[in-house]
């Protein structure tokens, strides 16, 4: 019962300091980079999570909705704590705690018991069921299980229970988001399409966006236009609820009746073509009105595209307040372009954030230098390359698809940049490269209140420019020689 590896028993030997020094330098070298990029199987520091996390986010975007993990209980704890850490907010969700016997008998009993208990304790208006690995591997049939649950009375007859298969061994959190959103929309809109009815509203699908400030910004823009809207799905209040002495388990989310009626909308804009292709495809085939897919509105041009599209779809002039806002954002850029012009950046993150970052940087004369997506596609690569090709500041930039943050480390150590844009997980690479990490994506575990500051729209431009430029100025103040330390910057 011991030494099953049949290891030779040896005295402990400390690694000699010169060997440590050698390896420490080696991992920063071109030679190491080549070896690192030759990896076929090992993934180190990936910049993506698994599908069910995104599914949970989508579920939180609807009123009174309890996310329900069909799978092992540990999965639910991981998703919840990840959302807790990013938003510093509650993230209530349950699991049906499948265990070894479920591997043999399937998870139906767990699901039924779990649904019944969840309804009794947490009184949801909707339960959004999604799967983690175990039921996917053993082949649980959710359609039959949920039908049976209703027949046997484990759930009330009229309680919507959309469900999505979100295996973790396929895609990333954004794909889980898409599948859950699609299932919720299909469920809620079933039989709700009314010939000739038009709500007059815009359906806005914001995509798998973890920034509550962005949701508020979309609402503000639409209010400025006077365009009535339904956001599918709106986590803006769910993960930014007031501290007032009460706990609202379901603090926000789109009203279920509004979501149901969204099928009769005047128009639908899906933000982020990479986040919700399945949902948008289905909406195009089934929803009334016009349907448009737009990039995430990060930077002036991409925001302009959104603003003009809203104006066009609803036959409205762009309101003066937004025109002024655009002017102020451009003012912020012209006033501070000198602190970013020519600066080189490494970028990583989800596809829709990446197209936005690149567009934004090029507008400022900054240089995207390494772009890395740990789950990207040819389509994304082509879109990013087209953006780069459209600007002289996009030259010399390389795109790396399906690479991880250990690859990124090799890149920034051998071909340095001035800054990195990404999430908290890049902080080790940034520290080793001695450059700032600008945290704009998801997750941000190590800074406070970031999710409250929009990065979309004209206000997002102001926020990003301010954060990036001031950091570069801080660095100059902190590191310059005394004789160059001066009052003005």
Partner 1 sequence: MSDKIRKIEGITKESTQAMIDDALAAYPDKAKKKRAPHLAPNDAASGCASVKSNKKTVPGVMSARGCAYAGAKGVVWGPIRDMVHVSHGPVGCGWYSWGTRRNLMTGINGVTQFGMQFTSDFQEKDIVYGGDKKLKVLLEEAKGLFPLAKGISVLSECPVGLIGDDINSVAKQSSKDLDIPIIPCNCEGFRGVSQSLGHHISNDTIRDYIIGTREFAEPESPYDIALIGDYNIGGDVWSAKPLLEEIGLNVKAVWTGDGELEKIAATHKVKLNLIHCYRSMNYMCKVMEEKYGIPWHEFNFFGPTKIKESLRAIGALFDQTIQDKVEAVIAKYDPIMQAIIDEYKPRLDGKKVMLLVGGLRPRHTIGAYEDLGMDCVGSGYEFAHNDDYDRTAPEMPDATVVYDDPSEYEFEKFAHTLKPDLIGSGIKEKYVFQKLGIPFRQMHSWDYSGPYHGYNGFETFARDVDMAINSPTWKLVKAPF
For partner 1, the binding residues in 101-160 under the rule CB under 8 A are 102-103, 110-111, 113-118, 120-122, 132-134, 137-138
The pairing of beta strand 126-131 with beta strand 65-70: parallel
Asked whether position 79 contacts partner 1 by CB under 8 A, the answer is yes
- Annotated catalytic residue: which of 50, 69, 94, 133? 133
> Among residues 88, 309, 328, 452, which is the contact residue for partner 1, using CB under 8 A?
88
Q: Residue 270 to residues 47, 169, 220, 228, 350: CA-CA distances in angstroms?
A: 24, 26, 17, 16, 16
One DSSP character per residue, 161-179 reads --EE---TTSS-HHHHHHH
State how far the Cα of 11 lies from the Cα of 318, in Å rounded to an integer.
76
Active site residue 461: no
Q: How far is the CB of 366 from partner 1 (least distance, A)?
A: 28
> Among residues 56, 108, 165, 168, which is the contact residue for partner 1, using CB under 8 A?
168
> Among residues 62, 68, 280, 345, which is the contact residue for partner 1, using CB under 8 A?
68
> Among residues 18, 158, 195, 244, which is the contact residue for partner 1, using CB under 8 A?
244
> Among residues 29, 32, 148, 290, which is the contact residue for partner 1, using CB under 8 A?
32
Residue placing its CB nearer to partner 1 in the complex, 108 or 199: 108
Instruction: Provide the edge-to-edge strand list for the sheet that holds 267-271.
Output: 229-231, 202-205, 267-271, 290-294
Site string for partner 1, 400-429 (x = CB under 8 A): ------x--x---------------x--x-
Asked whether position 36 contacts partner 1 by CB under 8 A, the answer is yes
Site for partner 1 in 182-241 (CB under 8 A): 241
Window contacting partner 1 (CB under 8 A); options: 72-80, 205-213, 277-285, 327-335: 72-80
Residue placing its CB nearer to partner 1 in the complex, 289 or 426: 426
Q: How far is the CB of 488 from partner 1 (least distance, A)?
A: 36
Asked whether position 179 contacts partner 1 by CB under 8 A, the answer is no
- State residue 246 phi and psi, 5-degree precision: -125, 155
Q: How far is the CB of 99 from partner 1 (least distance, A)?
A: 5
Window contacting partner 1 (CB under 8 A); options: 78-86, 219-227, 313-321, 365-373: 78-86
Site string for partner 1, 301-340 (x = CB under 8 A): ----------------------------------------
Site string for partner 1, 2-21 (x = CB under 8 A): xxxx-xxxxxxx-x---xx-
State how far the Cα of 148 lies from the Cα of 113, in Å rounded to an integer.
12
Asked whether position 286 contacts partner 1 by CB under 8 A, the answer is no
Site for partner 1 in 333-392 (CB under 8 A): none
Asked whether position 39 contacts partner 1 by CB under 8 A, the answer is yes
Active site residue 198: no
The token pair that represents 320 in the structure block: 């003066």
Site for partner 1 in 245-284 (CB under 8 A): 245-248
Window contacting partner 1 (CB under 8 A); options: 71-79, 279-287, 299-307, 355-363: 71-79
Which are the contacts of 45, defined by CB distance < 8 A and separation ≥ 6?
404, 405, 406, 408, 409, 425, 428
Tell me how many degrees the CA angle 441-443-444 measures, rounded to the nearest 5. 90
User: 3-state class of 229 per DSSP?
Assistant: strand
The stretches of 123-204 forming alpha helices (DSSP H) are 133-138, 142-151, 173-189
Rounded to a whole number of angstroms, the CA Rg of the chain reads 24
Tell me how many degrees the CA angle 320-324-329 measures, rounded to the nearest 5. 150
One DSSP character per residue, 271-316 reads E-TTT-HHHHHHHHHHSSSEEEEE----SHHHHHHHHHHHHHHHT-
Window contacting partner 1 (CB under 8 A); options: 77-85, 178-186, 212-220, 475-483: 77-85
Q: Residue 153 to residues 25, 124, 157: CA-CA distances in angstroms?
A: 65, 16, 8
Catalytic residues: 133, 137
């Amino acid at each position: 019962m011991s030494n099953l590896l049949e290891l030779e028993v040896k005295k402990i030997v400390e690694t000699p300091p010169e060997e440590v020094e050698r390896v420490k330098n080696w991992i920063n070298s071109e030679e190491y980079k080549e070896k690192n990029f030759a990896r076929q199987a090992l993934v180190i520091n990936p910049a993506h999570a698994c599908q069910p996390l995104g599914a949970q986010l989508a579920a939180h975007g609807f009123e009174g909705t309890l996310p329900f993990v069909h799978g092992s209980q540990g999965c639910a704890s991981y998703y919840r704590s990840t959302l807790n850490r990013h938003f510093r907010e509650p993230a209530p969700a349950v699991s049906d705690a499948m265990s070894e016997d479920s591997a043999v008998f399937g998870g139906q009993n767990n699901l039924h018991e779990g649904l019944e208990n969840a309804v009794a304790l947490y009184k949801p208006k909707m339960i959004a069921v999604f799967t983690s690995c175990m039921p996917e591997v053993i082949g649980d049939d959710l359609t039959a299980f949920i039908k049976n649950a209703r027949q046997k009375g484990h759930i009330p007859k009229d309680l919507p229970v959309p469900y999505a298969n979100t295996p973790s061994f396929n895609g990333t959190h954004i794909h889980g988001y898409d599948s859950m959103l699609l299932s919720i929309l299909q469920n809620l809109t079933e039989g709700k399409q009314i010939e000739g009815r038009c709500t007059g509203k815009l359906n806005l699908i914001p995509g798998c966006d973890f920034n509550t400030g962005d949701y508020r910004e979309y609402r503000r823009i639409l209010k400025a236009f006077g365009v009535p809207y339904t956001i599918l799905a709106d986590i803006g209040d769910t993960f930014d609820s007031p501290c007032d002495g009460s706990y609202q388990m379901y603090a926000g989310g789109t009203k279920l009746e509004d979501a149901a009626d969204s099928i009769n909308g005047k128009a639908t804009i899906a933000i982020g073509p990479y986040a919700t292709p399945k949902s948008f495809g289905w909406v195009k085939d089934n929803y009334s009105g016009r349907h448009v897919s737009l990039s995430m509105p990060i930077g002036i041009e991409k925001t302009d595209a959104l603003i003009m599209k809203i104006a066009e779809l609803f036959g409205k002039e762009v309101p003066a307040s937004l025109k002024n806002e655009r002017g102020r954002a451009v003012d912020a850029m012209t006033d501070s372009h000198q602190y970013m012009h020519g600066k080189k950046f490494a970028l990583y993150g989800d596809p829709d954030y990446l197209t936005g970052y690149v567009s934004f940087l090029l507008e400022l004369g900054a240089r995207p230098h390494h772009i890395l997506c740990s789950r990207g596609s040819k389509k994304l690569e082509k879109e990013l390359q087209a953006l780069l090709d459209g600007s002289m500041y996009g030259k010399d930039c390389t795109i790396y698809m399906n690479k991880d943050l250990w690859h990124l480390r090799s890149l920034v150590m051998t071909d340095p940049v001035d800054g990195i844009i990404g999430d908290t997980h890049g902080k080790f690479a940034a520290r080793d490269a001695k450059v700032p990490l600008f945290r704009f994506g998801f997750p941000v575990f190590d800074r406070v209140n970031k999710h409250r500051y929009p990065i979309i729209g004209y206000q997002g431009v102001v926020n990003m420019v301010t954060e990036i430029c001031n950091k570069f100025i801080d660095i100059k103040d902190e590191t310059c020689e005394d004789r160059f330390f001066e009052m003005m910057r």
